[in-house]
Amino acid sequence: MSESTAGAAPAWEAEQHPLRAVVLAGGLTFEREVSLSSGTQVEEALVRAGLDAELRDADAELLPGLAAAPADAVFIALHGATGEDGALRAVLDLAGVPYVGSPAAACRLAWDKPAAKSVAGSAGVTTPDWVALPHSTFRELGAGAVLDLIVARLGLPLMVKPASGGSALGAQKVTRVEDLPAAMVSCFAYGDTVMVERFVDGVELALSVVDLGEGPQALPAVEIAPESGVFDYTSRYTPGLTEYHAPARIDDVVAARAAELAVRVHRALGLADLSRTDAIVDADGQVHFLEVNVSPGMTQTSMFPMAVEAAGYDLGEVLASLLARRAGHSR
């Protein structure tokens, strides 16, 4: 946060009435409960920052509610397709409702992990070798033959994950060939296309980016050390199963590389306001891009709030600044 941003009276306090923010959470996805937890944390942080904040679900009552009681700006704390594939943002655009976060087109790109990796790779970002295939390919060409080609190309171990989605739902590390078919079946429960990626052993990082008006800046990297060795859904959202270090225990050179990678991904994909990039640092200090999240988790075990705190900022003030900018207030 710049000195001018930190030193001025907040725009939402300067108005005759507090800035009215609606926090969207819930939705009908596999990540509903996580989203509700994020939304509650955001609402409470905004209230502490002096805003008039209200938590609402993304349901049939949302648009009539926004029409009856317009928000100055909306904060999207929805995870999964509802909050991250761009569809809801396109509807908010149609309704003329300002919101914090990336535009619909950028969200569609980021939501598609293979597409995001392709764009990031074209921008000079290192990412593990991968292949993404729909369920029909395995059915039509024979699963065994296709899986043999994948292993021959990428080797073992592998990371198998749905080509879209968040919270590591369906993601598995596969170390044995015989376990690969079951991992694929598990992924297809979350979508029609699966992405198989070469596993990179190293230090896992969450790289948060925020833009408070002076361009995107990377916050301190958060190091993720899951007890199980794999940062899956259970490790993410069960307190005590993962150890976090903010800032990460990496040297300054690697930290600078990681920060540069996160900002480059943010820019290359056309993202706005905030994002969180997941990356791995290998034994040689090379930072590998995995995926990017346009609606970072805001729960008590989420990495974006940890990064904000590590940077010396207050989460409520940061989110309020983003809302004030989208509402057209100046600070």
Give catalytic residue positions: 31, 167, 237, 276, 278, 291, 293, 297
Q: How far is CA 192 from CA 78, 117, 175, 184, 188, in A?
A: 22, 18, 23, 11, 6
> Which two three-digit tokens encode residue 241?
């199963």
Pairwise CA distance, residues 275 & 219, whole Å: 11
User: Quick one: DSSP state of residue 248?
Assistant: -
Backbone angles phi and psi of 172, in degrees to 5: -145, 145
Three-state SS for 220-238 is: CCEEEEECCCCCCHHHHHC
Sign of the CA dihedral with 83 first, then 85, 88, and 92 last? positive
E strand or H helix at 23, and its extent? strand 20-25
> Which two three-digit tokens encode residue 265?
């991904």
Pairwise CA distance, residues 101 & 116, whole Å: 17
Half-sphere exposure of 56 (CA within 13 A, CB side): 22
Q: What is the CA radius of gyration of the chain?
A: 20
Residues 6+ apart with CB under 8 A from 207: 218, 219, 221, 222, 258, 259, 261, 262, 276, 277, 278, 279
Residue with tokens 């590998």: 288
Pairwise CA distance, residues 86 & 107, whole Å: 5
- Cβ-based neighbour number of residue 307 at 10 Å: 26
Sign of the CA dihedral with 144 first, then 149, 150, and 154 last? positive
